[in-house]
Structure 1
Amino acid sequence: MPDVVLPVLNEAAALPGVLTRMPAGFRPIVVDNGSTDGSARVAVQHGAIVVAEPSRGFGAACFAGLRAADDEVVCFLDADGSLDPADLVALAAPVLAGTADLALGARVAEAGAWPWHARLANRALAFELGRRGVARLTDLGPMRVASRQGLLALDLQDRRFGWPLEMVVRAAQAEWRIVERPVGYRARAGGRSKVTGTVRGTVRTVRDMSRVLAA
């Protein structure tokens, strides 16, 4: 059964909705990245495996989840309710069938779900990847599926917000077959995204991703 890594920092309010919509056969692994709102307890109550990662950082949490997974196929999903876990079934299909090495969810956003500054930054980064001949993509979204051993072999180093971009860059360099599939995107369950919910958060994310491109 595919494992689903959910990096979490104070998502107690959103987790019940996310975990109860997890498709049959997909095992959630919640990586608690220092929550103070009882997220870990809520995750356990809803049947998830919980891993503690005290080192702060989106990439640190994702890597901890990757190491904790034991299925040959691993999915990544935000835990804020903005993405529907049901979309993992279609997204994982080409990886499970062996016709793709990395499947990325291209977000189709509801009105108001995706802040303009985050959308603009995402498009700029995707354009830059195409301009440099790395990969032609429309989105660098957080829902994705790949082989666990393959990801470990990529030896991803970023432990901050550059993790998603580094995964794509290294996968392309390794000549992985990368595909995109549309996934729904809605407003997160309460509050603003800690990654791109503010201009400051978007700038921080772009800075980390730009560091990956520069490397």
Structure 2
Amino acid sequence: MSESIAVLIPCYNEAVTIAKVVDDFRRELPEAAIYVYDNNSKDDTAKIAAEHGAIVRREPRQGKGNVVRSMFRDIDADYYIMVDGDDTYPAEAARDLIAPLAAGEADMTVGDRLSNGSYGEENDRAFHGFGNDLVRWLIKAIYGFAFDDVMTGYRAFNRAFVKTMPVLSEGFQIETELSIHAVDKRWRIIDVPIEYRDRPEGSYSKLSTFGDGAKVLKAIASLFKEYKPLAFFGWISLILVALGLIVGIPVITAFVATGVVLRIPSTVLAVGLVFCGCLSMTAGLILDSVAKANRKQWELEVYKFMSKDNE
């Protein structure tokens, strides 16, 4: 391949595994530039990575999302491979991830650990599989696209995807953000099955199952509001109006029977709920117009970027 390749490895306290990860990718992609971004590690991650030939840079803002933001901004290449530094993903699959990009068949490829069952066999951390399935289901329900593995840290991108991706996440929500952005903006996505292996002895996960899981769900809700405001506020409106009718129908029934409004508090509550539902729908309609305008502007920016890149 004549195109340039950058391997992006975000790291935090991965001294146990980083040497092998760098060596494996140097062996499989000798033409690639390997970048290790050290995120305030307390061990010798940066030193070991440099000794094994990686280009080491530091990101002082804590969080994987902050690291990915800096990587995407700083590094220029035709193709990018992003992989965790914990030696759970096989470097041997790197060319399989790049191939659909180089062939013009995909803009993002996703290292799928789930389809072949390797993640279920190797990973013994409780609720990780359940969390992945929940996020996959939510994205399918909201956006209609079924990822085989949405939380994987092994992905590849072309230059246009990376340079037009607005990274907003600070932490482990980044995988969810990348996935939702790709689906919402209609980038071409291909899942590539890979063999997952668990962390070696002495290496530990920095992912908090419940803490980071809650952040991921919050990120999904936030991105749903940003990307599909009419659906988001429409559901809120439907719920509020339904609650208003539940409270208000007995009041109306009593009024028809007696000609007197007997339940003043219920009447006020019912009117307030329906009114708030109408306001929510109005907000959704306005924000939907804003979102469509932003989408059009983003599309034009992508066209400009690709035209400039092809000059």
TM-score norm. by structure 2 comes to: 0.65
Residue 217 of structure 2: aligned partner? 210
Compare 32-41 and 146-155 and name the one that shifted more: 146-155
- Corresponding position: 1:86 with 2:92: yes
Query: In 2, Cα distance between the equivalents of 1:31 and 1:124?
Result: 30
- Unaligned stretches of 5+ residues in structure 2: 223-311
Compare 125-134 and 51-60 and name the one that shifted more: 125-134
Q: Shift of residue 187 of structure 1?
A: 1.2
| Among 49, 57, 63, the residue aligned to 2:63 | 57
Residue 270 of structure 2: aligned partner? none
- Corresponding position: 1:7 with 2:14: no
Q: Shift of residue 27 of structure 1?
A: 2.2
Change (3 A) 1:114 1:130: farther
| Among 157, 160, 168, the residue aligned to 1:146 | 157
Query: What amino acid does structure 1 have at the position aligned with 2:111?
Result: G
Query: In 2, Cα distance between the equivalents of 1:33 and 1:81?
Result: 17
CA contact (8 A) 1:15 1:79 kept: yes
Q: Pairwise mapping of residues 1-215 of structure 1 onto structure 2 (< 5 A)?
A: 1-22=4-25, 23-24=28-29, 25-107=31-113, 108-109=118-119, 111-140=121-150, 141-189=152-200, 190-195=202-207, 201-215=208-222
Compare 65-74 and 43-52 and name the one that shifted more: 65-74
Residue 198 of structure 1: aligned partner? none
Query: In 1, Cα distance between the equivalents of 2:165 and 2:40?
Result: 26
Q: Shift of residue 113 of structure 1?
A: 2.6
Structure with the bigger percentage of strand: 1
Q: Shift of residue 67 of structure 1?
A: 2.2
Fraction of identical pairs, as percent? 26
The SS at the match of 1:29 is strand
Query: In 2, Cα distance between the equivalents of 1:84 and 1:113?
Result: 15
The SS at the match of 2:219 is helix
CA contact (8 A) 1:91 1:105 kept: yes
Change (3 A) 1:114 1:60: farther
CA contact (8 A) 1:51 1:68 kept: no
CA contact (8 A) 2:108 2:190 kept: yes
Query: In 1, Cα distance between the equivalents of 2:137 and 2:172?
Result: 18
CA contact (8 A) 2:14 2:203 kept: no
Q: Shift of residue 55 of structure 1?
A: 0.4
The SS at the match of 1:111 is helix
Q: Shift of residue 154 of structure 1?
A: 2.5
Query: In 1, Cα distance between the equivalents of 2:212 and 2:179?
Result: 15
Q: Give the structure with higher Rg (CA).
A: 2
Compare 108-117 and 126-135 and name the one that shifted more: 108-117
The SS at the match of 1:124 is helix
Query: In 2, Cα distance between the equivalents of 1:166 and 1:122?
Result: 14
Q: How many residues get paired?
A: 210
CA contact (8 A) 1:134 1:169 kept: no
Query: In 1, Cα distance between the equivalents of 2:87 and 2:164?
Result: 30
CA contact (8 A) 1:110 1:185 kept: no
Deviation string, structure 1 residues 98-154 (Cα, Å, up to 9, x no partner): 110110011132733352311110111011111112421121211001123322312
Structure with the bigger percentage of helix: 2
C-alpha RMSD over aligned residues: 1.5
Residue 238 of structure 2: aligned partner? none
Query: In 2, Cα distance between the equivalents of 1:116 and 1:148?
Result: 36
